[in-house]
Structure 1
Amino acid sequence: MTITTTTLTRAAGVAAVVGGLLYLGVQINHPHLDLDFISTTEWKVRQSMKALFAVLSLAGITGMYLRQVKRTGVLGLIGYLVLALGFVFMVSIEVAGAVVLPTIAGTSPGYVTDVLAVAVPGGHAAGDLGLMQSLINLDGMLYLAGGFLFGIALFRARILARWAAALLAVGAVATLAIPLLPQVNFRLFAIPTGVALVGLGYSLWRDQRTPAGRPLPDAVSSRLDPAGAK
Structure 2
Amino acid sequence: MSATPRPGKTKQFSMAPGERDLSRAAGMAAAIAGALFIAVQVGHPAMDVSLVTTTDWAVRSTAKALMAALALAGITGMYLRQVRQTGILGFLGYVLFAAGYLLMFGIEVVAAAVLPALAPTAPGYVADVLAVAFGGTATHGIGGMQTVIAVSSAGYLAGGCLFGIALFRARVLARWASALLAAGTVATVALAVLPESFNRPLAVPTGVALIGLGISLWRARPATGSDNSALPAVEHAAAR
| TM-score between the two structures when normalised by the length of structure 2 | 0.85
Aligned amino acid, residue 18 of structure 1: I
Match of 1:27, SS state, is coil
Distance 2:222 2:94 in 1: 27
Q: Give identity over the alignment, percent.
A: 57
- Could you tell me how far 1:48 is from its partner in structure 2? 0.6
SS for the counterpart of 1:127 is coil
Letter in 2 for 1:162: R
Distance 1:35 1:70, change over 3 A: same
CA distance in structure 2 between the aligned counterparts of 1:26 and 1:212, rounded to whole angstroms: 37
| Residues 135-154 of structure 1 mapped to structure 2, 5 A cutoff | 135-154=148-167
Q: 1:126 Cα shift?
A: 1.1
| Alpha-carbon distance, 1:60 to partner | 0.4
Corresponding residue SS for 1:203 = helix
- Equivalent in the alignment of 1:173: 186
Offset of 1:127 from its aligned partner? 1.0
Distance 1:94 1:183 in 2: 19
Aligned to 1:204: 217
- Residue 184 of structure 1 deviates from its aligned partner by 4.3
Cα RMSD (Å): 1.4
| Residue equivalent to 2:37 | 23
Matched, 1:112 2:123: no
Could you tell me which amino acid in structure 1 is paired with residue 195 of structure 2?
Answer: P
Worse-superposed segment, 126-135 or 194-203:
126-135
Pick the aligned partner of 2:54 from 40, 43, 51.
Answer: 40
Task: Say which of 145, 148, 157 aligns to 2:170.
Answer: 157
Which is higher, the Rg of structure 1 or of structure 2?
Answer: 1
Provide Cα deviations, 1:185-219, integer angstroms capped at 9, x if missing partner: 21111011100000000000111xx353369xxxx
Q: Equivalent residues in 2 for 1:175-190 (5 A)?
A: 175-182=188-195, 184-190=197-203
Within the candidate set 188, 194, 217, 2:207 is matched to 194
Q: Residue type matched to 2:22 in 1?
A: L
Any runs of at least 4 consecutive aligned residues in structure 1 with deviations exceeding 2 A, and if so which? 210-215
Residue 85 (structure 1) aligned to one of 99, 114, 122: 99
Q: Matches of 2:62 and 2:196 in 1, distance apart?
A: 28
Distance 1:104 1:183 in 2: 24
- C-alpha offsets along residues 38-77 of structure 1, whole Å, 9 cap, x if unaligned? 1111111100100000000011001100111110000001
Scaled by the length of structure 1, what TM-score is found?
Answer: 0.88
For structure 2, the residue ranges without an aligned partner over 5 or more in a row are 1-16, 227-240
Whether 2:142 is the aligned partner of 1:129: answer yes
Aligned letter for 1:213?
Answer: T
Please name the residue that 2:76 is paired with.
62
Instruction: Report how many residues are paired.
Output: 210
36-45 or 177-186: bigger deviation: 177-186
Which 5+ residue runs of structure 1 have no aligned equivalent?
A: 216-230
